[in-house]
Amino acid sequence: MKTKKTKKTMDAKSSVFSGPSKSEMKKWEIESAISTLQRAVEIQKNSKLMADVKKMAAEKVKELNNVVSKIK
């Protein structure tokens, strides 16, 4: 049984076989970026989480510096 696709669910250039159109991909990328920025603001407002983030980031930097020193 075939179902009729509407413009709301599928762009004219999209199909099951060709995948999403460039405009759909761009829209998803923009929506994802907005979500990421919103989450970043939430994280920055959480002082306890930011303290943990800074601590872990410092540990990662130390680990990476150890790797770099072994490569030289």
**DSSP letter string over 2-71?**
--PPPTTTS-TT-BTTTBS-HHHHHHHHHHHHHHHHHHHHHHHH-HHHHHHHHHHHHHHHHHHHHHHHHH
Residue count of the chain: 72
Residue among 5, 2, 7, 37 nearest 24 (CA): 7
pLDDT tens digits, residue range 37-72?
Answer: 999 999 999 999 999 999 999 999 999 999 999 997
Model pTM above 0.75: no
Give 3's pLDDT tier (boundaries 50, 70, 90): low
| pLDDT given for residue 25 in this prediction | 97
